[in-house]
């Protein structure tokens, strides 16, 4: 399994490196000069638009439990069973080009863009997925169709964009990169703010009474990219030659909440040189 996961990581790193050459660094460090005030849109709201990159110092990445003691999510028995199933029976959905959804994308290490209009706020992701969130005062529908990002309804509370999401798919999904599950009862409330020109922040409330004993939160801050930075095309399914060889689960989850390899399989012995063949 470790070999298959290593091959998948190599393929992803190669793709990320290629995009890195096109668009500059995919992560950032805190600016060394004082930040300017956050810009505003003509209708008076905070302007969340721009290209946003993860902070290199944020750890552990990809773990929706990063703010919880011991990085442990409050799983119910049903949630624990679902996690065990994901660890042993399912392949990482994103490696199969299935949208990660929310809140998983908020834990991703990859950049994203926001485009903002008076009626919609759009999130554009590295994998060429997008979210189109209405902010025109509508309410949730009576019987929404389940989807990977859920039915998302936005509203402004001062300078805070509140996104309330329900009706999530409960199959072929992980809530984060560590294979944690969510059910069809997932309810996510995101509160997006832009404290200054260089930062955007989200506070996320996650509720799922089927799989989690209590609501919990996830918060994160991203850094602004260059003004002209944009996402390039990313074709996940094209030439995805490793998908048929991937094994279940996310790989080793280390005590510090990161993913990696606590132990590596030993390398094969070096090939002994052979004597040259005489003509």
Per-residue pLDDT reduced to its tens digit, 194-204 = 999 999 999 99
Per-residue pLDDT reduced to its tens digit, 28-77 = 888 888 899 999 999 999 999 999 999 988 889 899 999 999 999 999 99
Average pLDDT over residues 148-171: 96
> Is the per-residue pLDDT at 187 higher than 50?
yes
Number of domains composing the chain? 1
Query: What is the rounded radius of gyration, in angstroms, for the C-alpha atoms of the chain?
Result: 21
Question: Is 252 a domain residue?
Answer: no
Closest CA to 192 of 79, 71, 252, 103: 103
Question: Is 227 a domain residue?
Answer: yes
> Is the per-residue pLDDT at 216 higher than 90?
yes
Question: Is 141 a domain residue?
Answer: yes
Q: What is the CATH number of the domain that holds 171?
A: 2.40.128.20
Average pLDDT over residues 125-131: 90
Domain with 224 in it: 5-30+48-245
Question: Is 267 a domain residue?
Answer: no
Question: Is 36 a domain residue?
Answer: no
Question: Is 254 a domain residue?
Answer: no
Q: Are strands 27-28 and 50-55 parallel, antiparallel or unpaired?
A: parallel
pLDDT of residue 18: 41
**What confidence tier does 263 reach under pLDDT thresholds 50, 70, 90?**
low
Spatial separation of the C-alpha atoms in residues 109 and 106, rounded to whole Å = 9
> Is the per-residue pLDDT at 118 higher than 60?
yes
Question: Is 43 a domain residue?
Answer: no
The whole model's pTM is what?
A: 0.85
65, 67, 68, 74 alpha-carbon torsion, rounded to 10°:
-40
Question: Is 271 a domain residue?
Answer: no
| pLDDT averaged over every residue in the chain | 87
Q: Which phi and psi angles does 56 have, rounded to 5°?
A: -60, -25
Q: Which phi and psi angles does 53 have, rounded to 5°?
A: -125, 150
> Is the per-residue pLDDT at 23 higher than 50?
no
**Residues 6+ away with beta carbon under 8 Å from 227:** 50
Q: Which residue has the higher pLDDT, 158 or 13?
A: 158
> Is the per-residue pLDDT at 92 higher than 80?
yes
Of the listed ranges 134-138, 165-169, 248-252, the least confidently predicted one is: 248-252
**Which secondary structure element, helix H or strand E, spans residue 264, and what is its range?**
none
């Amino acid at each position: 399994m470790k070999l298959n996961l290593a091959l998948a990581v190599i393929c992803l790193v190669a793709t990320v490196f290629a995009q890195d050459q096109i668009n500059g660094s995919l992560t950032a460090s805190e600016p060394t000069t004082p930040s300017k005030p956050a810009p505003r849109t003509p209708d008076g709201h905070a302007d969340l638009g721009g290209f946003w990159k993860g902070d290199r110092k944020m750890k552990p990445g990809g773990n929706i439990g990063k703010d919880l003691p011991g990085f442990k999510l409050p799983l119910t028995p049903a949630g624990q069973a679902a996690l065990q199933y994901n660890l042993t029976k399912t392949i990482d959905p994103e490696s199969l080009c299935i949208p990660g959804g929310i809140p998983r994308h908020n834990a991703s290490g990859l950049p994203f863009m926001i485009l903002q209009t008076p009626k919609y706020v759009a999130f554009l992701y590295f994998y060429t997925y997008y979210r189109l969130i209405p902010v025109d005062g509508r309410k949730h529908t009576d019987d929404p169709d389940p989807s990977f990002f859920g039915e998302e309804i936005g509203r402004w509370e001062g300078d805070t964009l509140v996104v309330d999401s329900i009706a999530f798919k409960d199959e072929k999904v992980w809530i984060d990169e560590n294979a944690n599950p969510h059910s069809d009862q997932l309810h996510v409330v995101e509160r997006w703010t832009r404290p200054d020109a260089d930062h955007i922040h989200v506070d996320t409330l996650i509720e799922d009474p089927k799989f989690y004993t209590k609501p919990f939160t996830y918060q994160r801050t991203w850094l602004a990219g260059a003004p002209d930075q944009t996402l390039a095309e990313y074709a996940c399914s094209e030439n995805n030659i490793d998908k048929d060889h991937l094994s279940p689960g996310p790989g080793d989850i280390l005590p510090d909440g990161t993913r990696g390899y606590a132990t590596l399989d030993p390398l094969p012995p070096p090939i002994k040189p052979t004597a040259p063949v005489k003509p």
